[in-house]
Amino acid sequence: MAAQRQKEGKKERKKTRRGLTEGNERKMFSGYGTRNPHELYYLQMQRVDEKMEREESGGNEGTRQRLKVCVATCNRADYSKLAPIMFGLKSQPDLFELEVVVLGSHLIDDYGNTYRMIEQDEFNISASLHTIVRGEDEAAMVESLGLALVKLPDVLLRLAPHVLIVHGDRFDSLAVATAAALMNVRILHVEGGEVSGTIDDSIRHAITKLAHYHAVCTHAAQMHLLAMCEDHDRILMAGCPSYDRLLNARHHDDHEDIIKAWLGDGVKESEYIVALQHPVTTDIKNSIKIYELMLDALITFKKKTLILFPNVDAGSKEMVRVMRKKGIEQHPCFRAVKHVPFTQFIQLVAHAGCMVGNSSCGVREAGAFGTPVVNLGTRQTGRETGENVLHVRDADTHNKIYHALELQFGKRYPCSKIYGDGNAVSRIMKFLQSIDLLEPVQKTFSFPPVREDSVSQDIDHILETQSALGIDLGGTNLRVGIVTMTGKIMRKYSQPNPKTYEERMELILSMCKQAMADAVPLNCRILGVGVSTGGRVNPQNGMVLDSTKLINEWSHIDLRSPVSQSLHLPVWVDNDGNCAALAERKFGHGKGVENFVTLITGTGIGGGIIHHGELIYGSTFCAAELGHIMVSLDGPECSCGSRGCVEAYASGLALQREAKRLHDEDLLVVEGMSLNNKEQVNASHLIQAARLGNTKAEGVLRTAAAAVGVAVVNILHTVNPSLVVLSGVLAQHYKNPVTHFISQRALSSAREVKVLTSDLDNPALLGAASMVLDYTTRRTY
């Protein structure tokens, strides 16, 4: 049985490698533009040879052993990130063999003897190394690093892991990575590529250059690793492992007990502060001063405060001395503790009225709960933060800190997903399985960094396709689709658009949740949600300003917040006409065209104007309301309340109205056509009748096409595009009359315009998805 599983695992791995190799080839051609074709050919041949060699030598069934993974943990902070990975490894014993090495401040009494957490989590510790030289100054850190380097080789020789996992930017981790790299042990570095403000930066980047594989938390981090010439195929955008637990942790019912246990009776949610300040080793003097000011501010702020002792870095002894001098441990407002178990700590952070200090937990984890944070000094400078963080970079007076506390305390922010979506561990497990032990350990220096267009393609290490959910809210139907980077609709869902706001929102969310669940087996990673809706939209804040009569109860609607909060994804909103134009720009005739216009006919008529490659919105988001271009002074009534708009002549609804009128006068049905009593008369009957020679029906269509023609000529004379794309079910019928109309009625210099019908099946849906795909994959430099 186990052998069978191993075989399957092996097959799976092979498949993964093949996927990667294809990615490489693609990258070679699209990204390495500076290499000449001969060199490219040579590289490609080399890759093919290597691949064949690998497959030959790996050809003996059953030789693949379990992957021996060693996790090295140094303190409570890195353990909080590594523990979820360790649980993941332990849960798949037929694929992985887990070894745990404990060192650094885990084993020191003053820092809470945190190795006990690992024992409590029931991991077997393979080796414990006392590596901390006491003194808490710069020299002691270096000596500690040296001590770790002396002790590690023995352990690595004994355990002989295939892969060693280290986390972050601590000096202990640097020792671990150095030892492993020198001993040819493959290193997976978790949380590389981030930028903060201290010596941590240098250490983190040094570990990156020692590591063979990278599991990063954010898009920006990935970009930084590429800029550091790391191989794109060895970088996994996983998200932060601790977020896997965090995102499920908020709604535990035991938080009241936990708050009581750590802060005392009578302290309620949002009524206390969590303070955690570490020394900044490159600027110890100043960081101690900030610490003193923070304590002063907290004393005057007079809220219950849980304060954690600083970490083991140089300067921490001095900070503890300051704390004792101010009598914090005896002060009635404070609870000073050395260590809080991680699961309880996140509950405390999640429900705090505010968090203050300079710990990475403030800028990272707190964002997941929307807890307000006051970040002091430079320790986290450069880190990506959510809107919940208020920075006090020059924390030089106690007033500044006090004022920041006043601003932040008790607030609630929307949850931020910058650092992860809760699926990091499963991605890392797949990534580890894809590691080919027969590949050379030698790292490659991937220069130059890959170009913009190839980044989005070759991210699929784990065989996931970057995708978006597109939503198309039309006058009749509500559609949701899973759309990939190339514009392929992997799955589509359609329901009648409900008549009330509540029902509509409920249906949108349930359809999206269904699609997100279906995306997993389809290997699509959903990056966000794009919504196309009728009506005027402010795309900056995701509000539907006012809608047409075609969609009820749909004015002054905040469409973004409820969808984003419920699905935990970024949400883009725009109107259907603009979305149709965006779809043409990304997937259709508009690709690479600077100035073009899309006119889409459905139940109503909408459109979008692309000028210099971007949409025109106007001063109040009312530009490109092409359906309401007036083509006559009176004419039929329009849904907008006016008369004579092109929509009132040529939309699906207008044609239906005319078909009904003819039918009521018994003028619609002609020979060769059947229409039973129950069937609703619509535009298609009108078209059918016209084809069969019904002159009345022909006349209606001719008028409709003429109305579109007038509208298009007006558009040509307003924005002078080089292309007009007619989209929607009626586009075919309007194309020739419109072309003819232009040749007759447009100014001669405006006639040089191409008129095409769209090739896209669901333009609004695709355009909605394109907003997500364009923005979430945009390079930052």
Sheet with 373-376, strands from edge to edge, namely 334-337, 304-308, 272-276, 354-357, 373-376, 389-392
Residue 671 structure tokens = 């020979």
CB 770 within 8 A of CB 582: yes
**Residue whose CB is less far from Zn ion, 642 or 744:** 642
217 assigned binding-site residue: no
Q: How many helices (H) and strands (E) does the chain have?
A: 27, 26
**Residue whose CB is less far from Zn ion, 153 or 641:** 641
628 binds Zn ion (CB under 5 A): yes
| DSSP-assigned letter for residue 254 | T
**CA–CA gap between residue 213 and residue 207 (Å, rounded):** 11
632 binds Zn ion (CB under 5 A): no
**CA–CA gap between residue 588 and residue 487 (Å, rounded):** 9
**CA–CA gap between residue 305 and residue 235 (Å, rounded):** 40
Residue 438 structure tokens = 């027969």
**Residue whose CB is less far from Zn ion, 125 or 640:** 640
Site pattern 21..60 for Zn ion (x: CB under 5 A): ----------------------------------------
Residue 552 structure tokens = 């009820």
The values of phi and psi at residue 435, to 5°, are -70, 130
Residue 200 structure tokens = 């941590």
* Beta strand 334-337 pairing with 186-190: unpaired
628 assigned binding-site residue: yes
* Amino acid at residue number 768: A
**Residue whose CB is less far from Zn ion, 176 or 626:** 626
**Residue whose CB is less far from Zn ion, 367 or 644:** 644
CB 172 within 8 A of CB 75: yes
CB 170 within 8 A of CB 75: yes
Residue in 137, 254, 576, 759 annotated catalytic: 576
Is 366 exposed, middle or buried, given 0-12, 13-18 or 19+ CB atoms closer than 10 A?
A: buried
CB 295 within 8 A of CB 323: yes
**Residue whose CB is less far from Zn ion, 424 or 537:** 537
CB 161 within 8 A of CB 185: yes
CB 324 within 8 A of CB 428: no
Q: Which stretch binds Zn ion (CB under 5 A): 298-306, 589-597, 621-629, 736-744?
A: 621-629
**Ranges assigned E (strand) in 223-363:** 235-237, 272-276, 304-308, 334-337, 354-357
Min dist CB 632 to Zn ion, Å, is: 12
CB 468 within 8 A of CB 772: yes
DSSP 198-266: SHHHHHHHHHHHH-SEEEESSHHHHHHHHHTT--GGGEEE---HHHHHHHHHTT-TTHHHHHHHHH-TT
* Amino acid at residue number 351: H
In 251-270, which positions are buried (b, 16+ CB within 10 angstroms) versus exposed (e)? Answer: ebeebeebbeebbeeebeee
- 3-state SS assignment for residue 537: strand
Assess whether 257 carries a catalytic annotation. no
Residue 345 structure tokens = 């700590």
**CA–CA gap between residue 746 and residue 734 (Å, rounded):** 17
524 binds Zn ion (CB under 5 A): no
Min dist CB 522 to Zn ion, Å, is: 41
640 binds Zn ion (CB under 5 A): yes
* Count of residues touching Zn ion (by CB under 5 A): 5
Block residue for tokens 């002790």: 151
Min dist CB 647 to Zn ion, Å, is: 5
| DSSP-assigned letter for residue 594 | S
Q: Which stretch binds Zn ion (CB under 5 A): 8-16, 183-191, 234-242, 636-644?
A: 636-644
Q: Binder to Zn ion among 511, 645, 707, 725 (CB under 5 A)?
A: 645
Listed in sequence order, the residues at least 6 apart from 761 whose beta carbon sits closer than 8 Å to its beta carbon are 489
**Residue whose CB is less far from Zn ion, 66 or 549:** 549
Min dist CB 648 to Zn ion, Å, is: 6
Min dist CB 621 to Zn ion, Å, is: 17
Q: Binder to Zn ion among 638, 654, 708, 712 (CB under 5 A)?
A: 638
* Amino acid at residue number 491: R
Min dist CB 729 to Zn ion, Å, is: 20
**CA–CA gap between residue 361 and residue 373 (Å, rounded):** 10
Min dist CB 650 to Zn ion, Å, is: 12
**Residue whose CB is less far from Zn ion, 640 or 756:** 640
* Amino acid at residue number 706: A
**What sign for the dihedral angle of Cα 325, 330, 332, 338?**
positive
Site residues (CB under 5 A) for Zn ion, limited to 107-146: none
**Residue whose CB is less far from Zn ion, 19 or 636:** 636
Q: Which residues are catalytic?
A: 576
Binding footprint of Zn ion on the chain (CB under 5 A) = 628, 638, 640, 642, 645
Known binding-site residues for Zn(2+) equal 628, 638, 640, 645
Known binding-site residues equal 628, 638, 640, 645
